[in-house]
């Protein structure tokens, strides 16, 4: 074992268990955990709120084991070089990341450190398989089902790594910036109260959430995951996005649960397939780094999108006049999260009913989601817009009223987020515009005053969208 320290860089992997770089560093000798924040414009406000809390929890977990978390703000290479000198470190380890800008910075960091004579190593990041390991011949997959079949044919996922038994701090500890210096917490007015009520960031909170899902949600996941009022979904996505759990941990735990309880096997497989979509999204982003801004299907660069800042604002604020859309957008604003089925429907409404570019929706989600994930967000928006890999056909245009009646038949989800509609019966609450005057009066609703009229006629908007799509074929 070496006595010179190893700097371990932490980014979106704020955990102690199943952390390859931390494990390798601990086997080598003393470890200096370091966090260097990325430029602010790379992450949205809700993501930063979560990461601030997650960093505090991670720092406390390290302190319990006698290690400091060194926080330094500044240029990545210059800051790491400074810390190498101050700590006497002879190696710098990190888990790989797969976003284009992060990979570029890490490649430059590794090349510079090796030139300095410092050992620099990267380890598998928070994916089940490296994006370059699954190819169709020499080409990346562009359709999910064959990608997932190829993944499953590989067999077992890499074995998990425990928390290192012995974590030793270096004899020389460099100074650290204060967490408050990041300025990631909301200024006045503080909009984060709903987030703080809904979530417990950190590795311990992640495991509590996961165990609760395994005990109370997984049994109904296969049948209930499309119902936004149902408790069957895991809500693990923020913990994954911030690396408080690894997908390998989720995979192994889910397989073990299904093995012990065969009646849960169908739900477990359905859940792991969703984990597979996350994997597929990072596969695509790695091979097509322009995905966050550029349609994968190039003909969609000619699509006649509309620019309408007023309509975009109404969608963002949950004031479209379509209850399921508005409920989802208000859930997003208050909690930093939205049910997956409702994400799909709100996205479809923006790009097809309003014909506003998908990039605008992706940008809003990126700023307001605590689970903002560049790959999943970009790929999923392109999927809904019909311009990406394995995309939903553009002519699949969801009717928000019919979807509401199908997936929230008793209006439980609607009443939770739209209390002004709460007195309407289970039929009228999905479509207040077509409720009778008497029903509206009894419920105390004046359309246009305390709840908006529908901002578009869905049937007409659908026809206009189809006509716009038809122009691409000419």
333 catalytic? Reply is: no
- Which among 130, 200, 333, 340 is annotated as catalytic? 340
Annotated catalytic residue within 119, 274, 399, 420: 274
Q: Mark which of 287, 307, 338 sits at the end of a domain.
A: 287
- Asked, for residue 216, whether it belongs to a domain, the answer is yes
| pLDDT value of residue 312 | 98
Considering 191, 207, 277, 333, which one is annotated as catalytic? 277
Query: What is the pLDDT, as a whole number, of residue 182?
Result: 81
pTM above 0.75, yes or no: yes
- CA–CA dist 141, 350 (Å, integer): 28
Percent of the chain residues topping a pLDDT of 70: 98
CA nearest to 398, candidates 344, 329, 470: 344
pLDDT tier at 472, thresholds 50, 70, 90: confident
Residue 2 sits in the same domain as residue 135:
no
* Shared-domain flag, residues 303 and 376: yes
- Residue 195 predicted with pLDDT over 70: yes
277 tagged catalytic: yes
Number of domains composing the chain: 3
Residue 474 has pLDDT above 80, yes or no: no
Reduced to 3 states (helix: H, G, I; strand: E, B; else coil), residue 13 is: coil
What is the predicted pLDDT for the residue at 1? 63
Q: Which residue has the tokens 């716009």?
A: 468
The yes-or-no answer on residue 94 being catalytic is no
Give the Cβ contact number of residue 450 at 10 Å. Answer: 11
Same domain, 270 and 390: no
* Tokens found for residue 421: 């509609």
Residue 426 lies in a domain: yes
Q: Identify the CA nearest to 418 among candidates 310, 311, 314, 325.
A: 325
| Pair 222, 139 in one domain | yes
Enumerate residues 6+ apart whose C-beta is below 8 A from 219.
263, 264, 267
- Spatial separation of the C-alpha atoms in residues 330 and 343, rounded to whole Å: 12
Same domain, 267 and 316: no
Which one of the listed residues 38, 82, 191, 305 is annotated catalytic? 305
For residue 241, give the CATH number of its domain: 1.25.40.80
Q: Which of 105, 125, 145 is the last residue of a domain?
A: 125
Is the residue at 169 inside a domain?
Answer: no
pLDDT tens-digit readout, 270-312: 999 999 999 999 999 999 999 999 999 999 999 999 999 999 9
Q: What CATH number is associated with residue 109?
A: 3.40.50.620
Do 307 and 259 belong to one domain?
no
303 part of a folded domain: yes
Assign residue 425 the CATH number of its domain: 1.10.579.10
- Shared domain check, 275 and 342: no
Q: What pLDDT digit, counting tens, does each position of 395-412 carry?
A: 789 999 999 999 999 999
Dihedral sign for Cα atoms in the order 288, 290, 292, 298:
negative
pLDDT at 391: 66
- At 158 the pLDDT is 80
Domain match, 113 and 250 both: no
- Structure confidence by residue, pLDDT tens digits, 25-79: 999 999 999 999 987 677 899 999 999 999 999 999 999 999 999 999 999 999 9
- Is residue 89 situated within a structural domain? yes
Boundary residue ending a domain (125, 147, 165) = 125
Same structural domain for residues 277 and 152?
yes
Instruction: Check residue 191 and give its pLDDT.
Output: 85
Q: Are residues 236 and 361 in the same domain?
A: no
Whether residue 187 lies inside any domain: the answer is no
CA distance 223 to 142: 28
406 with 375, same domain: the answer is: yes
Is there a contact between 167 and 26 (Cβ–Cβ < 8 Å)?
yes
What's the mean per-residue pLDDT of the chain?
Answer: 94
Quick check: is 358 catalytic? yes
Share of the chain above pLDDT 90, in %: 89
Catalytic, 381? Answer yes
DSSP annotation of 391 reads P
d(CA 354, CA 360): 12
Q: Is 191 within the bounds of a domain? A: no
In tens, the pLDDT along 238-248 reads 999 999 999 99
CA 362 → CA 29, 163, 291, 351, 379, distances in Å? 43, 36, 11, 11, 10
DSSP letters for 420-438: GGTTS-TTGGG-GGGS-HH
Would you say residue 268 lies in a domain?
yes
Which one is catalytic: 50, 315, 381, 383? 381
**Strand order of the sheet with strand 119-123?**
70-71, 31-35, 6-10, 91-95, 119-123
Whether 35 and 65 share a structural domain: yes
Q: Which domain holds residue 365?
A: 298-471
User: What's the maximum distance between 2 C-alpha atoms anywhere in the chain?
Assistant: 80
pLDDT tens digits for 212-259? 999 999 999 998 999 999 989 999 999 999 999 999 999 999 999 999
Catalytic residue among 47, 50, 199, 358: 358
Active site annotation includes 95: no
* Model confidence pLDDT, tens digit, residues 321-377: 999 999 999 999 999 999 999 999 999 999 999 999 999 999 999 999 999 999 999
């Amino acid at each position: 074992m070496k006595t010179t320290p190893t700097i371990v860089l932490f980014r979106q992997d704020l955990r102690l268990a199943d952390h390859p770089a931390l494990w390798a560093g601990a086997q080598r000798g003393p470890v200096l955990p370091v966090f260097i924040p990325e430029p602010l414009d790379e992450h949205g406000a809700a993501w930063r709120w979560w990461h601030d809390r997650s960093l505090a929890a991670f720092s406390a977990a390290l302190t319990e084991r006698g290690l400091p978390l060194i926080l330094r703000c500044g240029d990545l290479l210059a800051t790491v070089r400074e810390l190498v000198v101050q700590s006497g470190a002879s190696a710098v380890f990190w888990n790989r990341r797969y976003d284009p800008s992060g990979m570029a910075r890490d490649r430059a960091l590794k090349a510079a450190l090796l030139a300095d004579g410092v050992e620099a190593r990267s380890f598998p990041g928070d994916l089940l398989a490296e994006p370059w390991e699954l190819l169709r011949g020499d080409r990346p997959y562009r359709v999910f089902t064959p990608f997932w079949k190829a993944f499953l044919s590989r067999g077992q996922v890499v074995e998990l790594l425990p928390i290192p038994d012995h974590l030793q701090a270096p004899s020389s500890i460099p100074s650290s910036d204060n967490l408050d210096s990041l300025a990631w917490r909301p200024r006045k007015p503080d909009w984060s109260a709903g987030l703080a009520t809904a979530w417990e960031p950190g590795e311990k909170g992640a495991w509590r959430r996961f165990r609760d899902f395994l005990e109370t949600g997984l049994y109904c996941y296969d049948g209930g995951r499309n119902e936004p009022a149902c408790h069957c979904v895991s809500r693990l996505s923020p913990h994954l996005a911030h690396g408080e759990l690894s997908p390998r941990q989720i995979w192994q735990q889910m397989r073990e649960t299904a093995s012990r309880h065969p009646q849960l096997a169908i739900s477990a497989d359905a859940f792991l397939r969703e984990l597979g979509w996350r994997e597929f999204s990072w596969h695509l982003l790695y091979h097509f780094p322009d995905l966050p801004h550029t349609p994968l299907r190039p003909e969609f660069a000619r699509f006649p999108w509309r620019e309408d800042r007023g309509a975009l604002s109404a969608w963002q604020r949950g004031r479209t006049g379509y209850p399921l859309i508005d409920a989802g957008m208000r859930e997003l604003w208050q909690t930093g999260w939205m049910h997956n089925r409702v994400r799909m429907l709100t996205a479809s409404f923006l790009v097809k009913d309003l014909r506003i570019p998908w990039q605008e929706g992706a940008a809003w989600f990126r700023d307001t989601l605590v689970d903002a994930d560049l790959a999943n967000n970009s790929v999923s928006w392109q999927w809904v817009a019909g311009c990406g890999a394995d995309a939903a056909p553009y002519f699949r245009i969801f009717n928000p009223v019919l979807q509401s009646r199908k997936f929230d038949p008793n209006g439980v989800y609607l009443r939770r987020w739209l209390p002004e509609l709460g007195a309407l019966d289970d039929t009228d609450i999905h479509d207040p515009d077509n409720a009778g005057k008497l029903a509206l009066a009894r419920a105390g609703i004046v359309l246009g005053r305390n709840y908006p009229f529908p901002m578009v006629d869905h049937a007409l908007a659908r026809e206009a969208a189809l006509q716009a799509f038809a122009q691409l074929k000419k």
